[in-house]
């Protein structure tokens, strides 16, 4: 059994951790801030995802949950090398990331992208959960408690919760 079954369980634990029930009103915002930090810092095997990208005239939109590319492969399994956008425009056989798109000079067709996906949010409902909350509940507990401590302007608690969060990460 996981330490927290859902957002409601997590909210109770964070309120107890920081001793501040008034954060309940802004709890979804605190979770969103913590999840943004997780998406900047975490790169776990549970985040590895694959998607088929269909390029038209050398461009395909990246998946909505895209964080960082691991590899791009042809249907035959050949891996393409990532280069800067300028090099990609000058040479064939490479790809580049430009904004929310993957580009490959003059290519049309499918490519397989293996990438790190964003942690799915748990703010959709009070009974929402995800793999990170189930597998690594301490990351959520201390990450959201860190945001709560900053919100109530308790620098000492924020430093403590930030250290505990980094320890869990």
pLDDT, residue 91, reads 64
Banded model confidence at residue 1, pLDDT cuts 50, 70, 90: very low
DSSP state of 127: T
Q: What is the mean pLDDT of residues 140-162?
A: 97
pLDDT for 92-132, tens place per residue? 678 999 999 999 988 899 999 999 999 999 999 999 999 99
pLDDT for 49-95, tens place per residue? 999 999 999 999 999 999 999 999 998 888 888 887 666 665 667 89
Does residue 66 sit in helix, strand or coil?
A: strand
Instruction: Tell the residue number behind the tokens 């050949």, with chain if given.
Output: 78
The C-alpha atoms of residue 80 and residue 103 are separated, in whole angstroms, by 11
The C-alpha atoms of residue 133 and residue 129 are separated, in whole angstroms, by 6
């Amino acid at each position: 059994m996981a330490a927290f079954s859902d957002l409601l369980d997590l909210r109770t634990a964070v309120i107890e951790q920081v001793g501040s029930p008034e954060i309940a009103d802004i709890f979804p915002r605190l979770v969103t801030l913590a999840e943004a930090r997780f998406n900047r810092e975490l790169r776990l095997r549970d985040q590895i995802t694959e998607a088929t990208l269909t390029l038209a005239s050398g461009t395909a939109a990246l998946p909505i949950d895209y964080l960082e590319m691991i590899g791009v492969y042809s249907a035959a399994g050949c891996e393409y090398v990532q280069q800067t956008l300028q090099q990609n425009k000058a040479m064939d056989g490479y790809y580049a990331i430009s904004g929310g798109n993957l580009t490959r000079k003059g290519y049309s067709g499918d490519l397989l992208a293996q990438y790190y996906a964003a942690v799915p949010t748990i703010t959709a409902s009070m009974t929402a959960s995800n793999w990170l909350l189930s597998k690594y509940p301490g990351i959520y507990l201390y990450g959201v408690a860190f945001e709560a401590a900053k919100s109530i302007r308790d620098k000492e608690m924020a430093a403590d919760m930030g250290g505990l969060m980094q320890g869990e990460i």
